[in-house]
């Protein structure tokens, strides 16, 4: 892949327009107008590539690729496995997924295949090999894109058998499995592997170890399928590089595991800008956290593979990006580590599910539209910022986010079935750090903590023993750790830790959890700062869950904030405990945004983490760094002054930074 420039382009579906050569010709002209230098082809082309079993038609695709290439436009080539043709669904029922209620799907939509089916793998191998033979060495093809937005699960007999084999490998014996799942509860001891089935509405849904392992298994199946496809292509195209397009707050796959198999991470970014219930800055922070997650997966630049130039068709209300927002969201991706701004889609489909999804070119085919004009401006800006490509980001703070933790928490019943607010908890910490201009990585429990100054551990319910030890080592060596409520509760089998909790961290924190009390939505409990505390904090309100901690007798933490009411009044709501060269903070509940801002402003100063911008920025203005570059973005719907320049509504300025000096680039 090219490193000398930022990519601009997106999904292109010429197979829908092959009977309209005039439109295909116009596409090339307009792409050049819009500064497009890359397209993604082939995502949903299987029915045309292999219209009848074993009959392959690749010439049309070669023509498109080469015509674009001769016009300076590269191709990211997708394998078509996300949507197989109707003839295959008809002839081979086993390729169709079975739902958790054990209904086999009919031919439908996409992401609809059994990833275990040997027959399906054989068919995918055949088409992928066709593509690899034809385009594996083609200079026009700069990246291979395996399948599309992988997810979902299959409960067919083949998957049931595979699940049992997976469990046998994991546990060795039924005894170990029964122990790990605490299967004796409600008399569920399994005495034959065949007794185990995937979760089902009419079957098991209360053995939480089973729920968790099923999610692990499904994730591993997707990754296995990815590897299978990648290796089919790689065998014939050894120099090919591979990605898969990931998704927002995605649930079904442990992306930490998947990322190890990718050459480059990419993702599809569809925020709901201009929501009625939040500011553009809030939406921007939510999006930023995702960009940061995708950067962190491999610790290097990623691609924004899809985004809308304008609007989507699947949100409750179609909102146009207002003037300037296309630029703001494009440059936000680059600021956070993307080497591309790509769209779904170049040209709108005439019919079917996504005919009203935003596109660079609409049904009217015009180039004098606002959207086309703003897209072209984005393209021009990316050319000016070409030097950003490939640049790294500094290591400052890490926020722990882990799939098994997420899965285990959602599989549990209690302490708050109306919502634990896991992602909201993450955002409390992330937003305050991002607003303070700190670069945040989102890491899993396998991560190396070297280089970070601060590690934040929000709701790490399933805390691994090795990671608890790593956190202690990190603090001992001078790092700062922040631990929130509902951390260190269960082991990797979702079995409650016996003994004091947060398990593995009580010595680090100088306290233990005694109780946890749930609050109803809207309920709060007053909290007051301790006078003369080592860290001055504002009064605030606790919500959602209130942990009641008991200080360690031998080496107690120092309370910073106390609950001010209810039966747990005067228990610590926040505390700090020195540990080796570093220290650990404990937060017993969820507080108000201003609390987190004050808390992290103080902490990052204490930890010596440098803010992105040299001076404070106005409200709603966010600063982000890549090696040698500073991006400042105005999320307000009105102009502001920042770093001596006027930023228009939704405007962005970029500076080159060199030994503290700023030189404006954009």
Decide if 306 is catalytic. Answer: yes
Q: Is 496 in the site for a second copy (CB under 8 A)?
A: yes
Pick the piece of the chain touching a second copy (CB under 8 A) from 26-34, 196-204, 280-288, 294-302: 196-204
What element of type H or E holds 88? helix 86-91
- What is the Cα–Cα distance from 284 to 513, expressed in whole angstroms? 35
Q: Which of residues 363-382 bind a second copy (CB under 8 A)?
A: 363-365, 369-371
- What is the Cα–Cα distance from 513 to 500, expressed in whole angstroms? 7
Nearest one of 116, 202, 122 to 152, comparing CA atoms: 116
b/e per residue 171-200 (b: at least 16 CB within 10 A) = beebeebbbbbbbeeeeeebeeeeebebbe
Q: Is 410 in the site for a second copy (CB under 8 A)?
A: no
Task: Count CB atoms within 10 A of the CB of residue 277.
Answer: 7
Give me the catalytic one of 306, 374, 425, 547: 306
Instruction: Give the relative orientation of helices 157-171 and 208-236 as an angle to the nearest 10 degrees.
Output: 100
Pick the piece of the chain touching a second copy (CB under 8 A) from 66-74, 347-355, 526-534, 599-607: 347-355
Going from the C-alpha of 375 to that of each of 193, 272, 344, 648, 654, the distances in angstroms are 56, 18, 12, 18, 19
Q: Is 83 in the site for a second copy (CB under 8 A)?
A: yes
159 assigned to a ligand binding site: yes
Q: Is 349 in the site for a second copy (CB under 8 A)?
A: yes
- What is the Cα–Cα distance from 175 to 250, expressed in whole angstroms? 33
b/e per residue 311-350 (b: at least 16 CB within 10 A) = bbeeeeeebebeebbbbbbbbbbbbbbbbbbbbbbbbbbe
Pick the piece of the chain touching a second copy (CB under 8 A) from 129-137, 292-300, 357-365, 529-537: 357-365
15 vs 339, beta carbon nearer a second copy:
15
324 vs 437, beta carbon nearer a second copy:
324
Render 229-254 in DSSP notation, one character per residue: HHHHHHHH-TT--EE-EEETT--SS-
Among 3, 29, 70, 90, which residue sits at the site for a second copy (rule: CB under 8 A)? 90
Q: Is 72 in the site for a second copy (CB under 8 A)?
A: no
Q: How far is the CB of 147 from a second copy (least distance, A)?
A: 12
Q: Is 105 in the site for a second copy (CB under 8 A)?
A: yes
Q: How far is the CB of 165 from a second copy (least distance, A)?
A: 18
Q: Where are the alpha helices (DSSP H) in 95-207?
A: 118-135, 157-171, 174-180
Q: Is 56 in the site for a second copy (CB under 8 A)?
A: no
499 vs 644, beta carbon nearer a second copy:
499
418 assigned to a ligand binding site: no
Give me the catalytic one of 15, 105, 149, 162: 149
Among 9, 80, 379, 572, which residue sits at the site for a second copy (rule: CB under 8 A)? 80
Q: Is 615 in the site for a second copy (CB under 8 A)?
A: no
- The three-class DSSP label of residue 78 is strand
314 assigned to a ligand binding site: yes
496 assigned to a ligand binding site: no
Q: Is 110 in the site for a second copy (CB under 8 A)?
A: yes
- What is the Cα–Cα distance from 70 to 283, expressed in whole angstroms? 39
Q: How far is the CB of 601 from a second copy (least distance, A)?
A: 32
Q: Is 501 in the site for a second copy (CB under 8 A)?
A: yes
What dihedral do alpha carbons 417, 420, 421, 425 form, nearest 10°? 180
Q: How far is the CB of 348 from a second copy (least distance, A)?
A: 7
In sequence order, which residues have a C-beta less than 8 Å from that of residue 647 and are 6 or more positions away?
621, 632, 633, 634, 639, 640, 641, 653
Q: Is 149 in the site for a second copy (CB under 8 A)?
A: no
Q: How far is the CB of 120 from a second copy (least distance, A)?
A: 14
461 vs 595, beta carbon nearer a second copy:
461
Q: Is 208 in the site for a second copy (CB under 8 A)?
A: yes
The encoded tokens of residue 428 equal: 């409390």
Q: Is 239 in the site for a second copy (CB under 8 A)?
A: no
Task: Count CB atoms within 10 A of the CB of residue 424.
Answer: 14
156 assigned to a ligand binding site: yes
Q: Is 188 in the site for a second copy (CB under 8 A)?
A: yes
Q: Is 47 in the site for a second copy (CB under 8 A)?
A: yes
Q: How far is the CB of 600 from a second copy (least distance, A)?
A: 28
The encoded tokens of residue 28 equal: 């090339």
Annotated binding-site positions for Zn(2+): 114, 154, 156, 159
Q: Which residues are catalytic?
A: 149, 306
């Amino acid at each position: 892949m090219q490193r000398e420039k930022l990519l601009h382009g997106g999904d292109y579906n010429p197979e829908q327009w092959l009977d309209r050569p005039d439109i295909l010709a116009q596409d090339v002209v307009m792409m050049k107008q819009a500064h497009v230098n890359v397209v993604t082809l082939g995502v949903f082309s299987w029915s045309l590539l292999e219209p009848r079993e074993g009959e392959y038609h690749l010439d049309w695709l070669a023509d498109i690729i080469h015509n674009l290439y001769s016009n300076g436009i590269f191709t990211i080539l997708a394998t078509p496995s996300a949507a197989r043709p109707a003839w295959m669904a008809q002839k081979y029922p086993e390729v169709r997924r079975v739902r958790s209620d054990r209904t086999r799907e009919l031919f439908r939509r996409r992401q609809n295949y059994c990833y275990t089916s040997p027959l399906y793998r054989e068919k995918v191998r055949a088409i992928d090999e066709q593509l690899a033979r034809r385009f594996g060495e083609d200079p026009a093809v700069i990246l291979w894109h395996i399948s599309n937005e992988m997810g979902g699960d299959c409960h067919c007999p083949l998957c049931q058998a595979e699940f049992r084999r997976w469990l046998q490998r994991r546990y060795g014996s039924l005894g170990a499995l029964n122990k790990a799942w605490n299967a004796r509860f409600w008399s569920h001891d399994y005495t034959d592997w065949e007794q185990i089935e995937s979760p089902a509405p009419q079957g098991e849904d209360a053995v939480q170890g089973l729920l968790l392992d099923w999610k692990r298994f499904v994730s591993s199946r997707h990754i296995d399928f990815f590897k299978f496809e990648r290796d089919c292509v790689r065998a014939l195209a050894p120099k090919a590089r591979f990605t898969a397009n990931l998704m927002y707050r995605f649930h079904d796959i442990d992306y930490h595991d998947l990322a190890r198999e990718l050459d480059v991470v990419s993702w599809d970014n569809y925020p709901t800008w201009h929501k009625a219930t939040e500011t553009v800055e809030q939406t921007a922070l939510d999006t930023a956290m995702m960009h940061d997650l995708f950067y962190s997966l491999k610790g290097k630049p990623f691609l924004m593979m899809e985004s809308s130039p304008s609007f989507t068709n699947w949100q409750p209300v179609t909102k146009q990006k207002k003037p300037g927002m296309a630029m703001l969201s494009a440059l936000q991706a680059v600021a956070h580590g993307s080497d591309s701004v790509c769209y779904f889609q170049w040209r709108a489909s005439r019919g079917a599910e996504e005919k009203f999804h935003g596109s660079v070119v609409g049904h009217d085919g015009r180039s004098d539209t606002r959207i086309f004009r703003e897209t072209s401006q984005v393209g021009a800006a990316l050319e000016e910022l070409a030097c950003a490509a490939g640049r790294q980001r500094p290591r400052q703070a890490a926020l722990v986010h882990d799939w098994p933790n997420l899965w285990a928490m959602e599989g549990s019943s209690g302490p708050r079935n109306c919502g634990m607010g896991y992602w909201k908890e993450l955002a409390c910490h992330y937003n305050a750090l991002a607003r303070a201009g700190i670069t945040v990585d989102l890491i899993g429990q396998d991560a190396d903590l070297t280089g970070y100054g601060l590690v934040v551990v929000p709701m790490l319910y399933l805390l691994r023993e090795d990671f608890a030890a790593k956190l202690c080592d990190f603090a001992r060596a001078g790092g700062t750790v922040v631990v929130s409520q509902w951390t260190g509760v269960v082991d990797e089998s979702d079995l409650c830790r016996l003994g004091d909790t947060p398990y593995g961290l009580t010595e680090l924190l100088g306290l233990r959890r005694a109780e946890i009390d749930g609050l109803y939505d809207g309920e709060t409990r007053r909290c007051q700062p301790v006078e003369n505390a080592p860290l001055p904090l504002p009064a605030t309100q606790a919500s959602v869950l209130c942990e009641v901690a008991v200080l360690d007798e031998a080496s107690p933490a120092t309370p910073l904030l106390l609950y001010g009411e209810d039966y747990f009044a005067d228990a610590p709501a926040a505390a700090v405990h020195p540990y080796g060269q570093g220290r650990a903070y404990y937060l017993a509940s969820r507080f108000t945004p201003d609390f987190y801002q004050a808390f992290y402003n103080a902490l990052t100063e204490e930890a010596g983490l440098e803010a992105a911008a040299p001076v404070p920025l106005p409200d709603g203005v966010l600063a982000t760094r890549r090696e040698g570059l500073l991006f400042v973005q105005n999320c307000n719907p009105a102009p502001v002054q920042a770093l001596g320049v006027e930023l228009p509504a939704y405007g962005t300025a970029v500076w080159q930074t060199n030994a503290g000096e700023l030189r404006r680039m954009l």
